[in-house]
Amino acid sequence: EDCEVIDIPSGTTSHGPEGYKQVILFFEEGFPDSGIEITNLLATEDQAVVEFIGRGTNTGPLHMPTGDVPPTGHVVEMRFCDVYRVSNGKIVSYRSYYKDPGFTG
């Protein structure tokens, strides 16, 4: 329940299911047509690393700490590397690494 959610490029940390939900909603709302292509997946009993490409068109607002950024209509492609730490079958830590395209803060 108290998963630590760390967005490395922006330096933000949040906790729990709500923190993880906010990461997902940021992309779903800003890029409603988004999808991912998993390019690499490694997993052990207590860790997982997922490399993927996220693609989408910025047709929705981006809700930033400094205020909303209006949609640009630009197609965006970003490469991510997400690292998960698992304990007792639950995610206890989630770290997302990507090159900041300039809209995260």
State the pLDDT at residue 85. 97
In a domain, 104, yes or no: no
Domain containing 54: what range? 4-98
Q: Rounded to whole angstroms, how far apart are CA atoms 24 and 91? A: 15
Q: What is the pTM of this model?
A: 0.84
State the pLDDT at residue 1. 65
CATH of the domain at 62: 3.10.450.50
Output DSSP code: residue 31: -
36-40, 53-57, 60-64: least confident range: 60-64
The count of other CB atoms within 10 Å of the CB of residue 88 is 6
Q: Rounded to whole angstroms, how far apart are CA atoms 18 and 41? A: 25
For 3-36, write each residue's pLDDT tens digit.
999 988 888 899 988 888 888 888 899 999 999 9
In a domain, 105, yes or no: no
In a domain, 67, yes or no: yes
Over pLDDT 70: what percentage of the chain?
93
Q: Rounded to whole angstroms, how far apart are CA atoms 101 and 78? A: 8
Q: In whole angstroms, what separates CA 97 from the centre of its chain?
A: 8
The count of other CB atoms within 10 Å of the CB of residue 31 is 22
Count: domains in the chain: 1
- Please, what is the Cα angle at 83 between 80 and 89, to 5 degrees? 135
In a domain, 40, yes or no: yes
State the pLDDT at residue 105. 46
Beta-ladder partners of 69: 62
